[in-house]
Amino acid sequence: MRVVVDTNVIISGLFQPEGIPGTIRKLIGKRTFDLCLSRPLIEEISEVLDRPSIRPRLKVQDWEVEEFLQLLSRLEGGMASPRPIDPTVLADPDDDMILATALAAKADVIVSGDRHLLDLQSYQGIPILSPRQFLDRVELGESGKGT
pTM: 0.88
Q: Note the pLDDT of residue 36.
A: 93
Q: Which of 14-23, 29-38, 43-52, 138-147 has the lowest mean pLDDT?
A: 138-147
Contacts of 72 (CB under 8 A, 6+ apart): 28, 35, 37, 42, 45
Q: How many domains does the chain have?
A: 1
pLDDT for 25-40, tens place per residue? 899 888 899 999 998 9
Structural domain contains residue 9: yes
Structural domain contains residue 147: no
Contacts of 45 (CB under 8 A, 6+ apart): 7, 10, 11, 69, 72
Q: Mean per-residue pLDDT for 110-139?
A: 96
Q: Note the pLDDT of residue 65.
A: 82
The domain in which residue 41 lies consists of 2-139
Structural domain contains residue 145: no
pLDDT for 46-74, tens place per residue? 899 888 888 888 877 888 888 888 888 77
Q: What is the CATH number of the domain that holds 84?
A: 3.40.50.1010
